[in-house]
């Protein structure tokens, strides 16, 4: 039998087709793989959270569930800087040091006639030694708020308690009863 006759037979052609397909499947299978992830999620207390400061009562501090939210009710007086030395504290009760930063989320109203009644609302993050770690300055230009940029990351040591000092100021002759709402996030990693 010569080779040409063997190649014409269907069974041989089918055999070569199957070998070729097997080689292609093997090469293709080598490209595909899977990653598996099996997370386990455990509920625990937040290591960095809010705590009372010396001026928390005057600042109208109201802690949220698990102290991961703080509501403040501040005042601003016309042409006077009102200072809350320790409006609220940020405390790290975790098992290790953590990085934190301040991030602007929202301010309402962001602009309009009422905004022009304010001069500034400034938040200072102060460490346990009294050093100012970050300044978060909300100030106005005419009838619009200028919002601060997100701060860099700062290391808060295990068992450390930092304070947030707040200064508010309204323009001379500001209308009574005008208010604004600010939301600031303290990111923790």
SS3 175: coil
Residue 92 neighbours by CB under 8 Å, 6+ apart:
47, 48, 98, 156, 157, 158, 159, 160, 161
Asked if 185 and 106 touch (Cβ cutoff 8 Å), the reply is no
CATH number at residue 148: 2.60.120
| 41 part of a folded domain | no
Domain carrying residue 19: 1-33
| 56 part of a folded domain | yes
Q: Smallest Cα–Cα separation from 61: which of 82, 41, 81, 87?
A: 87
Residue 109 neighbours by CB under 8 Å, 6+ apart:
115, 180
Specify whether 63 is located in the same domain as 129. yes
Specify whether 25 is located in the same domain as 64. no
Specify whether 87 is located in the same domain as 23. no
Q: Check pLDDT > 60 for residue 110.
A: yes
Specify whether 135 is located in the same domain as 171. yes
- For the chain, the domain total comes to 2
| 181 part of a folded domain | yes
Average pLDDT over residues 134-148: 96
Query: What global pTM score does this model have?
Result: 0.79
| 40 part of a folded domain | no
pLDDT digits (tens, 9 = 90+) for 42-97: 988 899 999 999 999 999 999 998 999 999 999 999 999 999 999 999 999 999 99
Q: Check pLDDT > 70 for residue 7.
A: no
pLDDT digits (tens, 9 = 90+) for 165-177: 999 999 999 999 9
Specify whether 29 is located in the same domain as 52. no
- Determine the Cα–Cα distance for residues 55 and 85; give it in Å rounded to an integer: 6
Specify whether 82 is located in the same domain as 174. yes
Residue 39: band (very low, low, confident or very high) from pLDDT cuts 50, 70, 90: confident
SS3 5: helix
| 43 part of a folded domain | no
Specify whether 108 is located in the same domain as 178. yes
| 39 part of a folded domain | no
Specify whether 92 is located in the same domain as 184. yes
Specify whether 92 is located in the same domain as 24. no
Specify whether 22 is located in the same domain as 63. no
């Amino acid at each position: 039998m010569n080779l040409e006759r063997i190649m014409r037979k269907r069974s041989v052609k089918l055999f070569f087709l199957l070998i070729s397909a097997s080689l292609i499947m093997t090469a293709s299978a080598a490209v595909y793989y899977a990653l598996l992830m099996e997370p386990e999620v455990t509920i625990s207390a937040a290591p960095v959270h809010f705590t009372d400061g010396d001026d928390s009562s005057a600042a109208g501090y109201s802690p949220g569930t698990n102290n991961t939210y703080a509501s403040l009710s501040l005042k601003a007086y016309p042409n006077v800087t009102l200072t809350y030395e320790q409006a609220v504290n940020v405390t790290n009760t975790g098992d290790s040091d953590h990085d934190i930063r301040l991030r602007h989320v929202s301010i309402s109203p962001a602009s309009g006639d009422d905004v022009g009644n304010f001069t500034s609302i400034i938040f200072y993050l102060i460490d346990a030694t009294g050093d100012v770690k970050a300044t978060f300055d909300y100030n106005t230009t005419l009838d619009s708020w200028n919002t601060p940029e997100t701060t860099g990351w700062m290391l808060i040591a295990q068992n450390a308690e930092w304070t947030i000092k707040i200064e508010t100021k309204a323009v001379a002759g500001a209308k009574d009863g005008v208010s604004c709402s600010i939301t600031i996030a303290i990111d923790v990693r």
